[in-house]
Amino acid sequence: MRSSFQYKNLIRQIEEGNKLLAILIDPEKFDITTSEKFLKIIPKQTTHLFLGGSTVPEKLMERLIDSLRMHTKLPLIIFPGAASQISEKADALLFLSLVSGNNPEYLIGQQKAGAAQLLKSKLEVIPTGYLLIDGGSESAVANVTNTLPMPQSNIEGIVHTALAAELMGAKSIYLEAGSGANIPVSAQVINAVKQVLTIPLIVGGGIRTAEQKKLSYDAGANMVVMGTVFEA
Ligand X SMILES: CC(C)=CCC/C(C)=C/CC/C(C)=C/CC/C(C)=C/COP(=O)(O)OP(=O)(O)O
Nearer to Mg ion, 141 or 163 (CB): 141
- Per CB under 5 A, 26 contacts Mg ion: yes
**Of 199, 194, 201, nearest in space to 155 by CA:** 194
Contacts for 197 with CB less than 8 Å, ≥ 6 apart: 162, 163, 166, 173
User: Does residue 54 bind ligand X (CB under 6 A)?
Assistant: yes
Contact 88, 57 (CB under 8 A): no
Position 227 contacts ligand 1GP (CB under 6 A): yes
206 in a labelled binding site: yes
Considering CB distances under 5 to 8 angstroms, the limit depending on partner class, which of ligand X, ligand 1GP, Mg ion, none binds residue 201? none
| DSSP label of 229 | G
Torsion of CA 56, 62, 64, 69, to 10 degrees: 150
Q: Phi first, then psi: give them for residue 184, nearest 5 degrees.
A: -70, 170
Q: Are 53 and 84 in contact (CB under 8 A)?
A: no
Q: Is 80 in the site for ligand 1GP (CB under 6 A)?
A: no
Choosing among Mg ion, ligand X, ligand 1GP, none, which partner's interface includes residue 114 (Cβ < 5 to 8 Å by kind)?
A: ligand X
Q: Which of residues 190-229 bind ligand X (CB under 6 A)?
A: 227
Q: Which stretch binds ligand X (CB under 6 A): 49-57, 150-158, 192-200, 208-216?
A: 49-57
For 8, phi then psi, to 5°, come to: -60, -40
| Window contacting ligand 1GP (CB under 6 A); options: 1-9, 28-36, 105-113, 220-228 | 220-228
Q: What one-letter code names the amino acid at 189?
A: V
All residues at 6 or more sequence positions from 93 whose CB lies less than 8 Å from its CB, including other chains: 77, 78, 80, 86, 118, 123, 124, 125, 126
CB-nearer residue toward ligand 1GP: 86 or 96: 96
Residue 20 parent element (H or E)? strand 20-25
Q: For the CB of residue 116, give the shortest distance to ligand 1GP in the complex, in Å.
A: 26
* Closest-approach residue to Mg ion (CB): 179
Sole binder of ligand 1GP in the list 77, 207, 215, 223 (CB under 6 A): 207
Q: Which residues bind ligand 1GP (CB under 6 A)?
A: 24, 176, 179-181, 204-207, 225-229
Give the annotated binding-site residues for sn-glycerol 1-phosphate. Answer: 174-180, 205-206, 227-228
